[in-house]
């Protein structure tokens, strides 16, 4: 399950793990004009944060549908 919220400067997507236990903590994706921030709480409820450039997000999206290998997008 997921939710999508449009805020002033970002689109926020929350990915909620469903199914049988153990479940992973929610993942929050904040899409800004120039980057994407991914956040998830660790076991001690400390937020872990990863910031990707838009180019990195595009590379990740492309990589999800490719076989193993080394690639460069042109």
pLDDT in the model for residue 73: 80
Residues of the chain with pLDDT under 70: none
pLDDT in the model for residue 65: 84
Strand order through the sheet with 35-41: 2-6, 11-15, 27-31, 35-41, 47-53
Domain boundaries, the chain: 2-63
Positive or negative torsion for Cα 30, 35, 37, 38:
positive
pLDDT in the model for residue 12: 95
Q: Which of 40, 34, 28 is nearest to 57 (CA)?
A: 34
Please identify which residue in the block is written with the tokens 């042109």: 74
Structural contact between residues 28 and 21, judged by C-beta atoms closer than 8 angstroms: no
Residue 46 phi, psi (nearest 5)? -90, 130
């Amino acid at each position: 399950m997921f939710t999508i919220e449009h805020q002033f400067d970002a689109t926020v997507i929350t990915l909620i793990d469903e199914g049988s236990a153990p479940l992973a903590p929610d993942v929050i994706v904040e899409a800004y004009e120039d980057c994407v921030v991914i956040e998830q709480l660790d076991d001690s409820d400390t937020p872990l944060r990863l910031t990707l450039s838009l180019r990195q997000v595009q590379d990740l999206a492309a990589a999800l549908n490719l076989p193993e290998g080394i690639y460069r997008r042109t």
